[in-house]
Every structure is written in C-alpha cells, then in structure tokens.
Amino acid sequence: MSDHFDIVILGGGLNGAALASALKNGPHSVALVEPQPPAPIGPDSVWDSRIYAYSPGNVEWLKALGGWGEPVRAQAVYAMKIHGDTAGRLTFDAIDAGLPELAWIAENSRLQSALWQTLIGHPNIRLLNTPASAVTWDVGKAPRHQLHLGNGDTITTDLLIGADGALSWLRTQAGIGFDEEDYKHIGVVANFETEKPHRGSAFQWFRPDGVLAYLPLPGNRISMVWSTPPEHAAELKSLPLDELARRVTEAGTGALGKLTCITPAAGFPLKRRRAHEWVRPGLALIGDAAHTVHPLAGQGVNLGFRDSRLLAEVLASGGNAGEVGRLTAYAARRMEDVASMQFTTGSLKKLFAREDSLSSALRNWGMSLANQIHPINQALTRHAVL
C-alpha cells in the first residue's frame, strides 16, 4: 500500500486518539498509527492501575468528541485536602470556588477505549494497527514525509504528529534532543477499597518519604499514587497486598478507614522532560513526546489534552497541515502553559524535599496562608480546571 494522508498521528493513546477524534470532521484526511489498539472492555473488567485526573475543561472537550461515555467509569472530585509535613493545610473546594467540580478521575484504558470508539468506521479516519519502522524526511518548503510501516507499506503525509509518549520513537527519528531532570522518585500506584466513603474528596500528604495521594474512584474506592525514593518504592512493590494496604492506611492517617488492595502495586520513574523542538515543517510533537511534568498536581495528561485541543483548532482552517507558520504559532502558545506547570510542580517537589526547619516552617506557613486568603485559594483552584 502507498497512500497519502494529510495528517498521520503516531501513537493511539489518550492524546493521539483524542486528537484524531477532534480532527475526524475536519478538512484533512487522518491516519492513526498504533500497533496495540485498546482491547475490548467489559462492564465488570478489573480496575486499571493507570488512573488520571482530568480537568473539567478537558472533560467538556472529551464529551463534545463523544469520548466521555461508556465504558468510562468516572468520579467527580469536589474537594482536595492537602496536608503539609507538619501543621500546614490547604483545601480546595468546588463550592467555595463556584464550580460544579474540581476535576474528574477515570481509568486510562476505559477512556482510551471510548475515544477509539469515536473513530471506528469514520470515513475521514484510517486506523493502522502496525508499528512504524522508518521515516524518509522531505526537507522541501512543502514537505511530504514518507512513513515506512512494519507491514511493508509506505504512506506519505504533509504532517507527522508524535503522540508516542515520553520515549517518543518519532522524536528520536527526527534527531530532536530533550532536557531531562531525574526527580529520583518512583511513582507507586495501586487501587484500594475503602472502609469509609470518600465523598468525592482527594487527599495529598507531603511526607518525609515523599508525596502520597488518594484519588477518589466510583464507589468506596481510591487510586493511590505515592511519589517516593527508589528504595522505598521497591519495598512497597514487594509487600504482600494486605501489608501494602496496612502501610497505605497508616500513611494516610486512616482518613478513609481500613483499606483493602484491589490491584497490585506498580511503579514508574518520575522525570521532567522537555523536547528542544516541538515543531518543524511537517512535524509536531504533543503530550509526553514534547514534555513531562512531576505528577504532584495531576496535570500531565491535562497538558497533553490542551496540546491536542489547540492543535486541532489551529488545523481546522484547512490548507496544508504541515505549514510551519501555523505549527510554530501552536508551539508558542503552548510553551508558556507547560513551562509554568513544570516550574510549579518542580519547585514544590524541591521545596518539600528540603529537611531543614526553616524550609519546613515556611512551606507549611505558606500553605496555611493560602488556605485562609480566599482570593488566592480561588485563583489557584480556577487555574487547575481549564
């Protein structure tokens, strides 16, 4: 096969699938290249350990795409209760901010499946379930790159989009480097049944051994994310499920009563990355292929969706999808948002990593002050819901 598509997206995870869905009724032909499409999901399938927080703005966008329905299992977050390592407290409340909710929590696999359902059978979308094997770059003014596929086919495109994650194959093929900061922490994740109802509240504790978060799931369930040094992470992952549940219950001060493990613990390294280039003629990077952040604020997937939202908007006017002027405008508008979030989450991580008494007093005082001054609290809340 040798076909031409106006746009080819590499990677059919959340960002790639959402972008393809946003482009499906537009003026361009689109191919989504993903060798491992989501498997069918039944109503009673096991819980996915990959749980993310989604901002209300992104959820509204996903609803408009038709991707926020079955089989998604979602829980609204109405309050966020943050505990410093001493007496500091900070609470974000949807009612105080005049909002219906602060965020939504849902599983990666089910949202990916729902997004793919919006693409199946659509005349403007071709789903190619094969890996990419090589790229032949066209360096002309109006480039038409060739993408060689693992099944032996070759396709051409005006715009290649890398939505293939933090270890992006396409970014490597383009020879684009990246800055990286290793936070020297592992994010340990697992899901639990709770003895007490969470009532839509999320919790976060800054602790000497890292940052522990409880994210509410439908019913009496939560997802835990524990950002912690590698040695402690290895210990947590090695524990029997009942001992892991006991440790997590204790670390969370028994806020939701006794916890019972419903998924085993898994872990992933936490690093900040930013690609040196996000766009070139006929090339764009989105989501983790362009940038990653510390999960403190749960904003990694939201930044990626905001990439997809803006890029779909920029491409909606038609014309040559790979024209570098519009791609440069997209990158310039997104960089400020990403830089701000990387700075904020990175600074918070470093601030709470310092163990001296002065730093401890200042950070806990700052949290309590922000909690008491409503304009500051509301401003912080509203920034997170975009």
Query: CATH no. for residue 287?
Result: 3.50.50.60
Residue 371 located in a structural domain: no
Q: Are residues 239 and 324 in the same domain?
A: no
d(Cα 364, Cα 353) in Å, to the nearest integer? 13
> What residue type is 265 in one-letter code?
A
- Of 267, 307, 310, the C-alpha closest to 291 is 307
* Whole-number pLDDT of residue 19: 98
DSSP helix/strand/coil, 381: helix
> Is residue 41 in a domain?
yes
Same domain, yes or no: 194 and 263: yes
Of 80, 119, 135, nearest to 385 (Cα)?
A: 80
Task: Indicate the burial class of 250 (C-beta count within 10 angstroms; 0-12, 13-18, 19 or more).
Answer: exposed
Averaged pLDDT in 10-residue chunks for the chain of 386 residues: 89 98 97 95 84 94 96 95 76 88 95 96 96 95 93 97 97 97 92 98 91 95 95 98 98 97 94 94 97 71 95 96 96 85 55 49 45 46 50
Residue 51 belongs to a domain: no
Taking a C-beta distance cutoff of 8 angstroms, is the pair 109, 11 a contact?
A: no
Residue ending a domain, among 218, 249, 270, is: 270
Same domain assignment for residues 203 and 286: no
Q: Where are the alpha helices (DSSP H) in the chain?
A: 14-23, 56-65, 108-117, 169-173, 230-238, 241-251, 300-315, 324-353, 357-372, 374-383
The last residue of one of the domains, among 224, 251, 270, is 270
Assess whether 32 and 154 both reside in one domain. Answer: yes
Specify if 333 maps to a domain.
yes
Distance (Å, rounded) from C-alpha 32 to C-alpha 20?
7
Cis status of the peptide bond prior to 37, with omega within 30 of 0:
no
Q: Which domain, by its residues, includes 150? A: 2-45+110-179+273-347
Same domain for 250 and 142: no
Quote the pLDDT of residue 248: 98
Q: Which residues pair with 185 in a beta bridge?
A: 270
The reported pLDDT for the residue numbered 267 is 95
Cα 186 to Cα 213, 266, 275, 295, 373: the distances in Å are 13, 10, 22, 11, 34
Residues 237 and 302 in one domain: no
Whether residues 41 and 137 fall in one domain = yes
Inside any domain, residue 376: no
**Domain presence at residue 117:** yes
Query: How many folded domains does the chain comprise?
Result: 2
Residue matched to tokens 């693992």: 150
Q: CB atoms < 10 A from the CB of 199, how many?
A: 9
115 and 96 together in one domain: no
Which among 219, 247, 270 is the end of a domain? 270
- Whether residues 210 and 342 share a domain: the answer is no
Q: What is the reported pLDDT for 368?
A: 46
Q: Is residue 372 part of a domain?
A: no
Residue 152: which region, alpha, beta or left (left: phi > 0; alpha: psi -120 to 50)? left
Q: Which of 45, 26, 285, 263 is nearest to 162 (CA)?
A: 285
On whether both 302 and 189 belong to a single domain, the answer is no
The verdict on 288 and 258 lying in the same domain is no
Report the first-to-last Cα separation within the chain, whole angstroms.
42
Q: Is 334 found in the same domain as 200? A: no
Q: Which CATH number covers residue 231?
A: 3.30.9.10
Instruction: Tell me whether residue 380 is in a domain.
Output: no
pLDDT of amino acid 263: 94
